[in-house]
Structure 1
Amino acid sequence: MNTGQKKKTQPSDMEVQVLSSTIISNGDQHTKVTQIPLTIFDRSTLNFHIPIIYAFKPAAATNTTLKEGLIKTLVHFPTLVGRFGETNPGLPCILFGGGESRGTLFVEATVEENLENYLPLEPSIDTKSFYPPTEEAETLIQVQLNRFACGGLVIAITIHHWVADGQSMGSFFTAWGRSVRGLDVAPLPVYDQSMLAPRHPPRCDFEFWGVEFVPLSLISHSYNEALSEFNPNVRNILAHYSKEFISTKLKGQLQQKYSTFELLTAHLWRKITEARGLHPMALTQIRVAVNGRRRLTPPAPKEYFGNLVISAFSNAIVKDLLDGTLEHTAGLVSDGVRQVGDSYLRSFIDFGFINEREVLMPNTDVEGTVLSPNLEVDSWLGLNFDEMDFGCGGRLCSFLPGWVPVEGVVILIPSLDEDDKGGVDVIVTMLEEHAKLFRQISHSLA
């Protein structure tokens, strides 16, 4: 059986001992209070901290050096140390400056074993001990340094998703590394929201109720049941797809050209659907996170800090998906993404303006912990997560998201395998009863 996975069994008895927990605050009490309104893109994301875990082989930078670099970096990213509040008209915003900043939770911990015993890191629930609890977090960003006996280091960062999307998180991680290495933060983040202003008059050419948001009138008792249906059988699976497999095995089936993301997403959609054993006539939908920066006209700067991601959707009947070709499925994914252009994004912005005083409940908040027969796909390819560098000779050897408790999530990550540049690691969340078959067929071309 070829699972494409290159990993060791991670010990389940890992003991992380917290040595200290402090709040880093660089807020100036005498500065003017600044309000950054939450945009419709911010309000459509998860009301949750997103944890990301990095592992560095020795020799890693010292905790003091990392802390000093973090303090210098946060000066340029003030929303990360702020707090949620309301503007004078009563609209949701981020407040910072003038004593409104909350700061950063900074935790130092040790593990009395060698990091090598845990590499490569696996998407296990045990990794939750690497980062502070994300529920009811007091600060918008939390950092935990986990120092191993060998000198290796695991850094876990959690950032509230209303404050930053993947593009923004990647920019912050890169900036922190530059500060630790004694370099200036460049390019600087951009907070100007003028490119997200509504049209005059605003108009919605597309429907977003029922697509991005659920009308509160449709949320019933079943909503509460969905929230409480935590399933302990959800597994996080790590699969590796080599550059050779993607370029030869998958792209060799195509007549048209598709991106690695479109092609691998199509392959995974088919294999996960097969592993789930869905009814042939069931409808399956895939939701893809699309970076809107380059899709606006004119484009928003890459350095825009906040959220500028929106979902693209593709649908298929299970039988058609499994009986069809990989190329057909890749076309479905590509067509869905292509629909997200400037007019779609402008309509979404106008929708936010028209409904700015409404209580907006994102669909993702009411879907529960099992997405089947649907999928949610997030790509970390090209987000600079893999470029985090603190110097000192310590090489980034593993990185992955924190534990994902929801079935039906797929995350594409650039592989750090030095012998397989261009390969992709994939996190797939599945129910335990489907995971065995998925591992068997994850690289099947049938």
Structure 2
Amino acid sequence: MKVKIGSSKLVKPFYEGNPPLTTDYMPLSVFDKVTYDQHVAVIYAYRPPTPPNAMIELGLRKALAVYREWAGRLGKDSSGEPIILLNDEGVRFVEASVDRALDETVTFVPSASLTSLHPNLEGVVEPVQVQIHEILVWLNGGGLHGPPPSDRRTRDKASAINGTNKPFSTFESLVAHLWRAITKARCLNGLETTQVRVSVDGRARLNPRVPNEYFGNLVLWAFAKAKVDDLLREPLPYAAKLLHEAVMNVNDKYFKSFIDFANHKVRQEDLVPNAVADTKESILWPNLEVDSWLRFPFYDLDFGGGGPYIFMPSFSPTEGMIFLLPSFIGDGSIDVFVPLFREKFDNFQTDLLFSRLECTSKIDLCLKKLHFGA
């Protein structure tokens, strides 16, 4: 696949009236400071007709006038604290074309070939980059399997073990099954400890509740741990319960205690051992990390011709980093992206698809719609 770059330029905010001062800045919260500092590339695909690139550029400029942070730059204040400079320097806007049809270019699996469909992520000063492609033929879908029959008896079983009137959530059940399947495929030592790190959004957990429109990071991590032997020997609800309890413990009290801690520990380096992950590591073995994008309204991004037909992350070569997304099929199922070492992947796929599920019936639907990434 060859990608031809037509133009690359900085796009700045478009203000209807007098522009604001470009000497202002926004301080970062403690949650901004301790989360990942990296660009994340995602892929959108739209059915024709699509608006001209000039219209998309104008829409981007108008959006930047409202969300000035994206057109700014990271910097530091006089005390050395990280800030966002509201200098309106702009975002990178790239126009490109591809030499083949979309159905031959974009597969349902993140791969290294996708990196040419977005700008380089290394050493970038712009907070946002946008690359638009003129593609000859748009994907029309096909080759997907319909939902399998569900067995509601498995839901009653899960409720009894959970000890409540509610079954484990789809997220907890699905991640629990993935945790066990990946652990088995990795052939870990039975006495070894494996853990799953889950990002937890604090908006609905803080009291008073923080609006979903809050602009910034408000995430801490939950850690579910287990001995390999216990994880594989016990039934599936054992893993689901570990995940459930770990996430529930990241509550209002936990978030506020973290804020209190941060107020006493001014230096950023004091926070690093508690929450920051090394995103340059490409191997999480024997652990996993789960990033759930299930509640992000990706499919609401409409440029006038309807929402995207496909949304997916680009290539992310971090072994053990799992992404959960709402499926582009639109039937409520979930797409799961699981990077594993190639020699372990066949065992994982076989065990995942043919093992008996012991939790909610929802997972039958989810597992049949997995999109595997190697």
1:37 match: 27
Paired letter, 1:382: R
Counterpart CA distance in 2 for 1:246 and 1:68 is: 47
> What letter is aligned with 2:195?
Q
Q: Take 1:388 and 1:336, find their aligned partners in 2: how far apart are those partners? A: 33
Q: 1:247 to 1:120 in 2, by over 3 A?
A: farther
Indicate if the aligned counterparts of 1:381 and 1:412 stay in contact, CA closer than 8 A. yes
Using the alignment, how far apart are the partners of 1:246 and 1:351 within structure 2? 47
In the alignment, structure 1 segments of 5+ residues that lack a partner are 1-13, 153-239
Question: How many angstroms does 1:245 deviate by?
Answer: 7.2
- Of 43, 49, 52, the match for 1:62: 52
User: Does structure 1 residue 379 correspond to structure 2 residue 292?
Assistant: yes
Q: Deviations over 1:294-317 (max 9, x none)?
A: 111101111001111111111000
Q: Would you tell me which structure has more strand in proportion to its own residues?
A: 1
User: How does the TM-score come out when normalised to structure 2?
Assistant: 0.85
TM-score (norm 1): 0.71
Q: Is the 8 A contact 1:107 1:144 kept in 2?
A: yes
Instruction: Name the stretch that deviates more: 40-49 or 291-300.
Output: 40-49
2:56 is equivalent to residue 143 of structure 1: no
What SS class does the counterpart of residue 257 from structure 2 fall into? helix
Query: Across the two proteins, how many residue pairs are aligned to each other?
Result: 341
CA–CA distance in structure 1, aligned partners of residues 280 and 230 of structure 2: 25
User: Is the Cα contact below 8 Å between 2:106 and 2:114 reproduced in 1?
Assistant: no
Letter in 2 for 1:271: A
Measure the CA separation in 1 of the matches of 2:39 and 2:153.
37
Q: CA deviation at 1:119?
A: 5.0
Which among 64, 76, 81 is matched to residue 66 of structure 2? 76
CA offset at residue 369 of structure 1? 1.6
User: Which residue number in structure 2 is paired with residue 103 of structure 1?
Assistant: 90
Q: Distance in 2 between the 1:245 and 1:76 partners?
A: 47
2:158 maps to 254
Give the residue type in structure 2 aligned to 1:353.
Answer: N
* Cα shift readout 1:275-322 (whole Å, capped 9, x = no counterpart): 111011110011001111111110111100111111111100011111
Aligned AA for 1:150?
V
State the secondary structure of the residue aligned to 1:406.
coil
Contact 2:33/2:268, CA 8 A, preserved across alignment: no
Once the two structures are TM-superposed, the CA of residue 253 in structure 1 deviates from its matched residue by: 5.0
Q: How does 1:94-133 map to 2 (within 5 A)?
A: 94-96=84-86, 100-118=87-105, 120-133=107-120
Unaligned runs of 5+ in 2: 357-374
Report the CA distance shift for 1:412/1:253 in structure 2 as closer, same or farther (over 3 A).
Answer: farther
TM alignment of 1:178-327, pairs within 5 A: 244=148, 251=155, 254-255=158-159, 256=162, 257-327=167-237
Q: Deviations over 1:203-226 (max 9, x none)?
A: xxxxxxxxxxxxxxxxxxxxxxxx
| Map 1:395-414 → 2, pairs under 5 A | 396-414=308-326
Aligned mate of 2:2, from 11, 15, 33:
15
Deviation at 1:352, TM superposition (A): 2.1
Aligned-residue offset at 1:267: 0.8
- Aligned CA RMSD, in angstroms, stands at 2.4
Q: Shift in Å at residue 401 of structure 1?
A: 1.1
- 2:251: which partner in 1? 341
Query: Judging changes above 3 Å, is the alpha-carbon distance between structure 1 residues 247 and 81 closer, same or farther for their aligned structure 2 residues?
Result: farther
**Structure 2 vs 1, CA of residues 26 and 119 (structure 1 numbering), >3 Å: closer, same or farther?**
closer
Deviation of the 1:355 alpha carbon: 2.2
2-structure distance, mates of 1:348, 1:336 = 16
Structure 1 CA distance, aligned partners of 2:95 and 2:318?
29
2:74, 2:276 → 1: CA distance? 21
Aligned residue identity for 2:67 = F
Paired with 1:73 and 1:64, the residues of 2 have a C-alpha distance of 14
Instruction: Tell me, in whole angstroms, the C-alpha distance in 2 between the residues paired with 1:436 and 1:298.
Output: 47
Give the letter for the 2:290 counterpart: V
Contact kept? 1:33, 1:95, Cα under 8 Å: yes
Deviation at 1:392, TM superposition (A): 2.3
Aligned 8 A contact 1:407 1:431 in 2: yes
How far apart in 2 are the matches of 1:369 and 1:25? 35
Which shows bigger deviation, 297-306 or 57-66? 57-66
Give the letter aligned to residue 174 of structure 2. L
The CA deviation at 1:249 is 8.9
